[in-house]
Copies of this chain bind each other. A is one copy, B any other.
């Protein structure tokens, strides 16, 4: 069935639902960044396979909104589909609300499935459309009637995230959540993000690519702790374990009914950016809800000592794999055919040799020369460049180990860098080092620290369009909040125990992309009459290419930082790499 036929099926569902348009987002009932196949309805219906995009189907027109990462891909994939491409961020692109208002007549009805929208976003959408004279129905699910051959829900087993990795038992985490509920004067919270549930109940699974999570919801009150999950995913041992920890197990599909029957005298904490609209709407009206950042989101961002030790161990493993990979690359490039796709394969090969390896943590970005300038570049057999001697190769990759989740970017030069390449590389390096070195007072927000990663390049009239740092899970999602290090305001302060990325970049269209990324763990450094101060430990272990550095423009402290980083990398990795790689490592970590 081609896209035109699929749109026809979508439209055939309109009459019985009394709607004139339908919105299909890229989402699942947990508002996940990565979706299980059974929720990739937007991709199915539109033919556009990028990770971010919203399809809106009207009676005679259809349009798809996506961001600049996907303009080229969407153009190509939407060709002949009759779907108009709405390029987000360009000045003349209408919003979805504007497009619907333009396309529909007053009093016509727009439908969507509230399960696929965050409560906050859905409320805003409904308000905007209503203001424009349209009606909205938010509980329409057309998937059963429309999507032929829908993949079945993932049915892999869940497994216990062992205490030696988690550091806290399930019952300890539940107690911590209850303490926070008390502080918020709430009686209970609904946990809907998959990584929040996985963290709370110390379970992991493989329902979603790259993220070791299980489709599930949680509910914690002062006397109940409920996990809603396909009970077939739990073996007897895990069932017993969870029950011993005070957890009641309900079927995944019971969550709706449970929530709609909650006692009316409760005050419930919900995170309106994480709870889907349908579930939020099922909460009885008598119940008081308090909107705030999900408690497990806040708690899991601050890694405990056991998690931190394991994360550091996972970074030793990942560092070994990276060294083996880089050694292989440098010794084979120009001698055999290596493409951007080979890079990803080789990385998986070396990582899977490490104990505790589970999977990649996201799709490897390997961008050679001008492909490096495409920030979320994803090589395909058609586009994959052959890696030769010369030019920058940007490799952003990561893995899931039982011990922790990794995310690392190295950009290496395969020939003789020119002046612009050296300048850009050194500016990125300076930004990364300045953020690594900073000490800052307790109470500092990420947007205040983001400047450190940019100031050197700003002074040369250069900037980059993505954030500098995101939180990362402990054997969980590679992107997690609530903290961030980016220019835009985020009131969350950076706290001891938080682990995040440090990844400035410079991208010159048609030329090259440079990004250097380490993970940094926040720690307490000193306390005195001026207050409490924090700093970062850089915990990623892998040589940083020194060839493209314009050493003259490094400050003494930046140079010292790099040399001492490299000396630590050698010390921690040398005992574990293959004999032939050891000499290479010695050379690549030599002081400059």
Interface residues of A (CB under 8 A from B): 437-441, 443-445, 447-452, 455, 458-463, 487, 489, 491, 508-509, 525-526, 528-531, 533, 555
Q: CA–CA, A489 to B444, complex, Å?
A: 11
Q: Are A458 and B438 in contact (CB under 8 A)?
A: yes
Question: Which of the listed residues A438, A508, A530 has the most CB atoms from chain B within 10 Å of its own CB?
Answer: A530
Q: A439-B458, A455-B438 are in contact. Are A444 and B528 (CB under 8 A)?
A: no
Taking CB as reference atom, which chain B residue is nearest A459?
B439
Known: A439-B459, A555-B555. 15 other contacts (CB 8 A): A438-B455, A438-B458, A438-B459, A439-B458, A440-B458, A441-B463, A443-B487, A447-B448, A447-B489, A448-B451, A448-B487, A451-B451, A451-B452, A458-B533, A461-B526
Contact B555 A529, beta carbon cutoff 8 Å:
no
Residue in B closest to A462 when the chains form the complex, CB atoms: B530
A271 to chain B, nearest CB (A): 21
A458 near B437 (CB under 8 angstroms)? no
Closest-CB distance, A131 to chain B (whole angstroms): 14
Could you tell me the distance between the alpha carbons of A522 and B406 in the complex, rounded to whole angstroms? 41
B residues in contact with A528, CB < 8 Å: 461
- What are the residues of chain B within 8 A of A437 when measuring CB–CB? 459
Least CB separation from A488: chain B residue: B445
B555–A461 touching, CB < 8 Å: no
Q: CB within 8 A of A461: which of B439, B449, B487, B509?
A: B439
Q: Complex Cα distance A448/B452, Å?
A: 9
**A450–B487 Cα gap in the complex (Å)?**
13
Report the Cα distance A529→B491, complex, angstroms: 31
Q: Is the CB of A489 within 8 A of B487?
A: no
| Oligomer copy total | 2
- Is A533 in contact with B461, judged by CB distance below 8 angstroms? yes
What residue in chain B is nearest A534 (Cβ atoms)?
Answer: B458
What are 5 A-B interface contacts by the 8 Å CB criterion?
A438-B459, A448-B487, A462-B530, A489-B489, A555-B555
Note all chain B residues with C-beta closer than 8 A to A443: 487
Q: Closest B-chain residue to A526, C-beta based? A: B461
- Cα–Cα, bound, A99→B363 (Å): 58
Top 3 nearest A-B pairs (CB, nearest first) are: A451-B451, A463-B530, A461-B526
Whole-angstrom distance between the Cβ of A489 and the nearest chain B Cβ: 5
Minimal beta-carbon separation of A551 from chain B (angstroms): 15
**B452 and A455 within 8 A (CB):** yes
Kindly identify which residue among B441, B447, B509 contacts A447, using a CB–CB cutoff of 8 Å: B447
Contact B530 A444 (CB under 8 A): no
- Cα separation A120 to B529 with both chains bound (whole Å): 36
Residues on the B chain within 8 Å of A448, using CB: 447-448, 450-451, 487
- Which residues of B lie under 8 Å from residue A449 when comparing CB positions? 451
- Most chain B beta-carbon contacts within 10 A, residue among A449, A451, A460, A526: A451
Give the CA-CA distance A190 to B533 in the complex, in Å. Answer: 45
Q: How far is the CA of A463 from the CA of B530 in the complex (A)?
A: 6
What residue of chain B has the Cβ atom nearest to residue A506's Cβ?
B530
Residues of B within 8 A of A491 (CB): 489
Set of chain B residues within 8 Å of A441, measured between Cβ atoms: 458, 463
Q: Considering only CB atoms, which chain B residue lies closest to A528 in the complex?
A: B461
Complex Cα–Cα for A262 and B500 (A): 55
Q: Chain B nearest CB: distance from A451 CB in Å?
A: 5
Bound complex: CA A448 to CA B468 (Å): 13
Cα distance A450–B444 in the bound complex, in angstroms: 11
CA distance A489 to B438 in the complex (A): 20
Residue on B with the closest CB to A491?
A: B489
| Closest B residue, CB atoms, query A507 | B530
Contacts of A489 in B (CB 8 A): 445, 447, 489, 491
Complex Cα–Cα for A460 and B531 (A): 12
Residues of B with C-beta under 8 A to A461:
439, 525-526, 528, 530, 533
A452 and B452 alpha carbons, distance in the complex (Å): 8
For A487, list chain B residues within 8 Å (CB): 443-444, 448
A531 vs B460: C-alpha distance when bound (angstroms): 12
A448 to B454, CA, bound (A): 10
What's the nearest-Cβ distance from chain B to residue A460, in Å?
Answer: 8
Measured in the bound complex, the distance between the Cα atoms of B461 and A530 in whole Å is: 7
Q: Report A433 CB to chain B, min CB distance, Å.
A: 13
Tell me the minimal C-beta distance from A226 to chain B in angstroms. 34
Residue on B nearest A490 in the bound complex, by CB: B489
Residues of chain B contacted by A460 (CB below 8 angstroms): 439
Chain B residues closer than 8 Å to A463, beta-carbon distance: 441, 530-531
